Amino acid sequence: MSWSNRLFCALIVSAAILVCGVAQTEVKIIAHRGASGYLPEHTLAAYAMAHAMGADYLEPDLAVTKDGVLICLHDMTLEATTDVADVFPDRAREDGRWYAVDFTLEEIKQLTVKERFSRRFPQETHLFQIATFEELIQLTQGLNASTGRDVGIYPELKDPVFYERAGHAFSALLLEMLEKYGYTGPDANVYIQCFVPTTLKRLRDDLGAEQPLVQLISNRSLQDALVTDEGLDEIATYAQGIGPHKNRIEKDPTLVSRAHARGLVVHPYTFRDDVTPDKYASMAEELRVFLTEYNIDGAFVDHPDIMKQVIEALD
């Protein structure tokens, strides 16, 4: 089906949603960096746990190694989540930071991953390696085969300008890997997400990406234009959804209905059971509000099991 026909169908569905509310069974649980509330983020263990907890999508942020391999990593630098300072004490840049792009995959694999937050998995426990994006895909497809489920992936092109300037064809590397594992066409079980509109437009227009795209929208004022009617009109020309900071929806709940009216799904980030805004008693309560009052279509969560319980209780 062409994107214009898909947009037409989406508008009809959106109209039905406006009348009936979002069907809770369709709400997507996006495991943010894996089940990162329980295990160190971006590790295969965290992704496996999220799959077992019932996530619909496993979310990796992506970075690129010196030798051009996609790895699952949030920061451009390694020191917050690995023991790089101990293993390679002399490899920091002048700013005192260790950049992933300065290390080969063979070097990256010598590191062990530690928990980012002291309140979560014990930070002194170093059981895990940095995962490549390919390993995450193999894990996902392996678990899908062994469990009979069809969990998707939700990769984010993180800091694309930085990696392109470093000489890496970041977007092309992503598309090559998706193609290798069958994530092709508009119905592929994948969303490609990015904060940078030009990167998404280039994926669609220049690199021929047909996969669903999601425009991330931060809470910073420099992205305010994206949530205007004109901004959403523009996003709808190249993307199938938006991933706004959750505070944007609280500030202006019409963002959801205005996005739906343009055929865009709405997946806000990030819901955590150990960092809940004061006005909510728990992440479960916060999610219930976003699902029943704001009609979101899915959410990035550090605790997929809690979102699963909330959805089941609403069904």
Q: Does 51 participate in catalysis according to the annotation?
A: no
Window of 14-22, 47-55, 56-64, 93-101 that interacts with Ca ion by CB under 5 A: 56-64
**Cα distance between residue 185 and residue 304, in whole Å:** 27
Residue 298: name the closest of 188, 177, 214, 211 by CA. Answer: 214
| Of 41, 56, 61, 75, the one binding Ca ion by CB under 5 A | 61
Cite the beta strand spans of the chain per DSSP E.
28-32, 57-59, 61-64, 70-72, 152-153, 156-157, 192-194, 213-217, 241-244, 265-266, 298-301
In DSSP terms, 266 is beta-bridged to 242
Report in angstroms how near the CB of residue 70 gets to ligand G3P at its nearest.
Answer: 15
Asked if residues 37 and 272 have their Cβ atoms less than 8 Å apart, the reply is: yes
Task: Examine residue 243 and tell whether it contacts ligand G3P (CB under 6 A).
Answer: yes
- C-beta closer to Ca ion: residue 75 or 297: 75
The only residue of 41, 75, 115, 156 in contact with Ca ion, by rule CB under 5 A: 156
Q: Would you count residue 75 as binding Ca ion (CB under 5 A)?
A: no
Q: Nearer to ligand G3P by C-beta: 31 or 139?
A: 31
Do the beta carbons of residue 151 and residue 51 sit within 8 Å? Answer: yes
159 near Ca ion (CB under 5 A) = no
**Catalytic residue flag (residue 32):** yes
Q: Which two tokens stand for residue 117?
A: 């937050």
**In the complex, what is the shortest distance from the CB of residue 158 to ligand G3P, in angstroms, rounded to a whole number?**
7
| Alpha helices for 104-245 (secondary structure H) | 105-108, 133-147, 160-165, 170-180, 197-205, 229-235
Within residues 185-214, the interface with ligand G3P by CB under 6 A covers 193
Q: Which one of residues 270, 276, 292, 309 is an interface residue with ligand G3P (CB under 6 A)?
A: 270
Q: What residue ranges bind Ca ion (CB under 5 A)?
A: 61, 156
Which residues are known to be catalytic? 32, 74
